Amino acid sequence: MPLNRARILLIVGGGIAAYKSLDLVRRLRERGASVRAVMTSASAQFVTPLSMASLTGNQVHDDLFSLTDEAQMGHIELSRDADLIIIAPATADLLAKVAQGLANDLASTLLLATDTKVLAAPSMNLRMWLHPATQRNVAQLKTDGVAFVGPDDGEMACGEYGPGRMAEPLAIVAAALELLKAPTKLPLPAGLKRAPGPLTGHRVLVTSGPTHEPIDPVRYIANRSSGKQGHAIALAAAQAGAEVVLVSGPVSIPDPEGVQTLHVETARDMLAAVESALPADIFISTAAVADWRPAEVAASKVKKTATGSVPSFAMTENPDILASIAHRQVGRPKLVVGFAAETGNVLTYAQDKLARKACDLIVANDVSLESDVAGGVMGGSQNKVHLISSDGVETWPILDKDEVARRLVARCAELLMSPNLKAAP
C-alpha cells in the first residue's frame, strides 16, 4: 500500500522525544497519509494535545472511557481502522505493558486489541534500554510480530551517551513504507473465525480501473481512472463476508487483501475475464472502460514524418461490459450495479443509462473539473455520488472513497435480500 493511501494510528508515549512525534506527523501527512493520534497521559506533559490535533487534522484520543468517543468510534474500531500503528516514542513502560498484555489505559488497550501490524520507535535512557527486563520485552515483542526502528546512539537529555535516542522521523517514515509494502492485517489466531457478514455465502464480481487500448507497441488510449473506488468496493465486499473476484485494468495501487484479483489490459480482456468469473450474485461495474479502440494496432511504433503530417486512426466500438452482463438471459447476477462518470447533466445521463443498460442501480458522479470534490474525483481520495434506481435518486455527501465503498456494499446487501428485487432481462 502506498503511503498516500495509508491510515496511520500514532501512539505517543511519555518521553522527552515526544516532541519529535510532531515532526513525524508532518512528514507522514506531507506524503499523503492520514494520521490519528492517541496520547498517553505522560506524553501530554511534553506535547500538548492541541498541537497534535492541529497537525493531524483529527481529534486526539486519550481517554479509554470517553463516552463521546465510544459513540463515534470505539477503541476497538480505532485500532482496527488503521493500516499501520506507530508507537513513537515507545517508552520502556509502554513496551513492558504491550509485552505483558496489560491494558490499563487507551494506548495499551488499543495495542492489545488490534489486528494491525505495529512499528515501535523506542526512546529511553541507555541504561533502561540495556536493562535485561527491557531486552526481554523487546525480544518477546519481536516474536509477537512487532517491528522496530532504532533506537539510535546519541547524547541523552540526561547527559549520558549511547543507545536510546528515538529514530529520526524520516527513518520512521522509511520503516513504515517498508511495512506497508506487505499486508498489514494480522491473521486471526488458529481456531477462530470471523463473524459472518451481511454478504457471507455470496459471490461478488467487481471491475475497477481503466482499460488501455493499444495504438502501437508503445502508445495506448486510456483515461484517468485510478482504480481507488473499485478496489475499495472489492475490499469492502470481502470485509462483509463475500467471496470476491476483482477484475482490474492497469492501476498503480495494490490488490485488496482477501480478494481474488484478475489483471487485464483491454476492454475485450476485461469482458472475457468477467464472463469467466461468473456466476455471481452481485456484479458491480466500477471500471472506466474505454468506449472505443483503434480498429487496427500498428505492429511497430508510429513514427513522425518529415512533412509533419498527423496520423489518423480508424476507431471501432468496444464491447459494453455492463450491458452485456445486465442483459444476459442465462446467468445474470441477481443485482447489477453500474457506474456513470459524467461531466455534465449527471442525473439525466445516469437515469438514461439505468434504463438502457438494464441495471438495478447506477452510481453516478461528476468527474468534471468543476466538481465540488476537492482535488477531483479521478485519482483523488474522495467521491460524491448519486444512487439512481427505479425508486428515485439518493444523493450522498462528499465522502472518502473507502466510506463510499462501505455504504454501497451495505446497500447492495440490503437490495440482495429485498423481496422486490427482480432481475431485469
Kindly write down the DSSP assignment for every residue of 242-269, as one continuous string: -EEEEEE-S-SSPPPTT-EEEE--SHHH
Whether residue 253 is contained in a domain is answered as yes
Q: What number of residues does the chain have?
A: 425
Whether residue 252 is contained in a domain is answered as yes
What number is the average pLDDT over the span 190-213?
85
391 band by pLDDT with thresholds 50, 70 and 90:
confident
Residue 363 and residue 239 share a domain: yes
Pairing between β-strand 161-165 and β-strand 260-263 as defined by DSSP bridges: unpaired
Does residue 185 have a pLDDT over 90? no
* Span 125-139, pLDDT tens digits: 888 999 999 999 999
The whole-angstrom separation of Cα 58 and Cα 35 is 8
pTM given for the model: 0.60
Residue 227 and residue 176 share a domain: no
Report residue 235 as a C-alpha cell: 475490499
What number is the average pLDDT over the span 159-164?
77
Residue 44 and residue 161 share a domain: yes
Q: Could you tell me the sign of the dihedral formed by the alpha carbons of 337, 338, 343, 347, in that order? A: negative
Residue 75 and residue 41 share a domain: yes
Report residue 317 as a C-alpha cell: 466500438
Whether residue 350 is contained in a domain is answered as yes
Does residue 336 have a pLDDT over 80? yes
CATH of residue 68's domain is 3.40.50.1950
Residue 172 and residue 281 share a domain: no
Whether residue 283 is contained in a domain is answered as yes
- Cβ neighbours around 49 below 10 Å, total: 16
CATH of residue 231's domain is 3.40.50.10300
Helix (H), strand (E) at residue 11: strand 7-12
Helix (H), strand (E) at residue 73: none
Whether residue 320 is contained in a domain is answered as yes
> Is 280:332 a contact under the CB 8 Å cutoff?
no
Does residue 415 have a pLDDT over 80? yes
For position 188, what pLDDT does the model report? 61
Whether residue 197 is contained in a domain is answered as no
Residue 208 and residue 175 share a domain: no
The parent domain of residue 145 ranges over 3-180
For position 72, what pLDDT does the model report? 46
Residue 215 and residue 173 share a domain: no
Q: How does the average pLDDT of the chain come out, rounded?
A: 86
The whole-angstrom separation of Cα 230 and Cα 206 is 7
Does residue 332 have a pLDDT over 50? yes
Among 149, 180, 211, give the residue marking a domain's end. 180
Residue with cell 523506542: 122
73 band by pLDDT with thresholds 50, 70 and 90:
very low
Structural domain total, the chain: 2
Using alpha carbons, select from 338, 239, 424 the residue that is nearest to residue 349.
338
378: DSSP letter: T
What number is the average pLDDT over the span 326-345?
89
Residue 167 and residue 85 share a domain: yes
Residue 208 and residue 123 share a domain: no
306 band by pLDDT with thresholds 50, 70 and 90:
confident
Residue 212 and residue 89 share a domain: no
Helix (H), strand (E) at residue 305: none
Does residue 371 have a pLDDT over 60? no
- Which amino acids are annotated catalytic? 158
> Residue 323: exposed, middle, or buried by beta-carbon count in 10 A (0-12, 13-18, 19+)?
middle
The whole-angstrom separation of Cα 110 and Cα 114 is 6
For position 71, what pLDDT does the model report? 45
Whether residue 305 is contained in a domain is answered as no
Residue 231 and residue 323 share a domain: yes
Using alpha carbons, select from 173, 176, 126 the residue that is nearest to residue 151.
126
Among 180, 213, 243, give the residue marking a domain's end. 180
Whether residue 257 is contained in a domain is answered as yes
Instruction: Find all residues with CB under 8 Å of 253, minimum gap 6, and list them.
Output: 1, 2, 5, 226, 227, 228, 231
Residue 137 and residue 25 share a domain: yes
